[in-house]
Amino acid sequence: MPALSPVPDDTIAAPQPAIPQEDFKVNQDLLKRVASNLQLQAEEMEGPSDSLFNVLSSSALGCLALSLHQGVANISNTLWQTPASLAPISKKVERRYFVPAKDHEYLYSHLAPNSLVVKSVNHREDKDARRLDAFGRKVYSLASFQLRVANHQSLLSQYDFHLWGSLPKFEPLLPEWDKKDFKALVEEGAATVKMTLQAASDTADTAARSMASMISMRRALWLLLSGLSAKVQSLMRDLLFDGKALFAIQMDVHLHGMKESQTFLQTLGLYVPPATE
């Protein structure tokens, strides 16, 4: 079967958006307090220097790297003993995170490999294609589950933020000498919850990107095996994902409308109307 083209290294990650220095400093200071409270090792990682534009900022933004918690390391080390036979999702863990299935079927089921493109490959009974597609489904299931976990993290963090926001009303009931510490505690709790909510948002972003990568990989596989030209494949690979099937309805509409794909359609025994002048 044809080999999938490697993806250039420079397309793996897009440049990160600039973070306001004030917000960045607040977050980094909070992480330092977290590390101190939990007695964790923290390492300052300097940001890349820029000899051309360094005059625009007082200093390169560095990130604080927190040590990997032993509890997290224990989980990964245990699971990695048998990577090939490991289920992508723990059934015990999966039962903790649900969203309504209605309108969110794509989070629970594999996307059907639809379209005339898939029909053309299945017509040749390509076993390698089916094996690779099955692998893509497995990874997609894992990514969709991560999105469900991120949803729970976001909701719990939002609820936690509301709880902290309800505490200031009790400040007048405290002795005068306790009010300052109480206010500082509430502010620290609210700041921590905000960062937790940001982490949940980043997790959701990563999960959605992982799902998109698997959708793109499965599409690329079927398109590659279809025999369509590289130009047509490129156009079809990035069509909208509607959450209902691997290829959106527009896929076959585009195929019928492209002169270059008429021969492909005819090989499937489909009627192709003559091109109009």
**pLDDT over 50 (residue 266):** no
**Whole-number percent of the chain with pLDDT over 70:** 64
pLDDT tens, residue by residue, 53-62: 666 654 555 6
**Whole-number percent of the chain with pLDDT over 90:** 27
Which residues touch 215 (CB under 8 Å, ≥6 apart)? 111, 140, 241, 246
Output Rg (C-alpha) for the chain, integer angstroms: 26
Which tops the pLDDT comparison, 83 or 202?
202
Give pLDDT, residue 66.
86
**If DSSP codes are grouped into helix, strand and coil, which group holds residue 44?**
strand
Domain ranges of the chain: 25-39+100-267
Helix H, strand E, coil C: the string for 20-32 is CHHHHHHHHHHHH
Cα gap 4→224, rounded to integer Å: 8
pLDDT tens, residue by residue, 177-235: 999 999 999 999 999 999 999 999 999 999 999 988 888 888 787 777 777 777 777 76
Which tops the pLDDT comparison, 271 or 128?
128
Give pLDDT, residue 225.
73
Centre a 10 Å sphere on the Cβ of residue 159 and count the other Cβ atoms it contains: 10
Cα gap 69→51, rounded to integer Å: 36
Which tops the pLDDT comparison, 257 or 72?
72
DSSP 59-121: S---EEEEPPPHHHHHHHHHHTTSSTT--SS-HHHHTT----STT-GGGTSPPP--HHHHHHH
Which residues touch 64 (CB under 8 Å, ≥6 apart)? 28, 31, 32, 35, 42, 43, 44, 45
β-sheet bridge partners, residue 42: 66
Give pLDDT, residue 14.
47
Cα gap 193→162, rounded to integer Å: 10
Which residues touch 58 (CB under 8 Å, ≥6 apart)? 21
Q: Residue length, the chain? A: 277
